[in-house]
Amino acid sequence: MYVAGVDVGSTAVKAVVLLDGRIAGTNVISTGTDQEKTAFQSLSAAAQDAGVVDIEDISAMVATGYGRSMVKMADRTVTEITCHARGGRAFAEAAHVIVDIGGQDSKVIRLDEDGMVADFVMNDKCAAGTGRFLEVMAERLEVPLSDFGKMWRATRKPAMISSTCTVFAESEVVSLLSHGVAREPIIRGLCDAVADRLAGMVHRVGLATEVVMTGGVSRNDGVRLSLERKLGLKVSVPSMSQFAGAYGAAIIALELAEKGR
């Protein structure tokens, strides 16, 4: 039986198709202006990846993410907190704290022993210190985001970045560059600023030993390294971390489909 989850994020739409409970297909594309259309495109591509012949063969579909209400074809919409908690726990069984950092928001979720949401904090008021913030800095520094980890490791002395506000931090970056500061310490300083903010959120829900990072920014190794330093423990990143919300939605879709049988 095929089921699907679609996560309509502010920056990227992610879709996961399960075949008999296992991930059989995935897709990620940029969120367009027509979120319903983009969600359908992502679902279709994930379905094709999974070998689904006809989209009607998908028994149930759950939508999550910031644009979830736009997905009219979904059997149900479920909050990002619930889906990230389900997907994060399924990716990493021991997870007790999930740090999800996406394009324009970040959330930290604390799970109880059964994997249920015990507490969470969310920063969705502005893009300060999120994926978009890092994208703007990467453009300004002319360094691809995928190189941030390599650049982080190339220096021991981070530059001081005092703000996670995109506008203020960009002018700090410009000023540092004009004073001849190399890009490596600037990048490490930016990662530290993002991690500082995340660590504050982790402490608000309560630190636990098993911290798992999800969302697109979990692929930014510089941010992970800075967060490990701030928290003083290892932070794990599942290989399909950007799909945690869509995976959680697909798991809920499977439960719906099984109930309906």
Question: Maximum distance among all alpha carbons in the chain?
Answer: 66
CB of 193 to ligand ADP, least distance (A): 14
User: Phi then psi for 19, rounded to 5 degrees?
Assistant: -115, 115
Stretch that binds ligand ADP, among 9-17, 152-160, 167-175, 191-199 (CB under 6 A): 9-17
Contacts with ligand ADP by CB under 6 A: the residue count is 20
CB of 225 to ligand ADP, least distance (A): 13
Nearer to ligand ADP (CB atom), residue 87 or residue 102: 102
Complete DSSP assignment for the chain: -EEEEEEE-SSEEEEEEEETTEEEEEEEEE--S-HHHHHHHHHHHHHHHHT-SSGGGEEEEEEESTTGGG-TT-SEE--HHHHHHHHHHHH-TT-SEEEEE-SS-EEEEEE-TTS-EEEEEEE-SS-TTSHHHHHHHHHHHT--GGGHHHHHHT-SSPPP-----HHHHHHHHHHHHHTT--HHHHHHHHHHHHHHHHHHHHHHH---S-EEEESGGGG-HHHHHHHHHHHTS-EE--TTGGGHHHHHHHHHHHHHHHHH-
Interaction of residue 11 with ligand ADP, rule CB under 6 A: yes
Stretch that binds ligand ADP, among 7-15, 70-78, 111-119, 203-211 (CB under 6 A): 7-15
Question: From the centroid of its chain, how far is CA 215?
Answer: 1
Draw the binding track, 189-228, toward ligand ADP (x: CB under 6 A; -: no contact): --------------------------xxx-xx--------
CB of 189 to ligand ADP, least distance (A): 17
Draw the binding track, 91-120, toward ligand ADP (x: CB under 6 A; -: no contact): -----------xxx----------------
CB of 221 to ligand ADP, least distance (A): 8
Nearer to ligand ADP (CB atom), residue 25 or residue 245: 245
Q: Please, which of residues 125-164 interact with ligand ADP by CB under 6 A? A: 131-132, 134-135, 145-146
Interaction of residue 248 with ligand ADP, rule CB under 6 A: no
Chain residues binding ligand ADP by CB under 6 A are 9-12, 65, 102-104, 131-132, 134-135, 145-146, 215-217, 219-220, 242
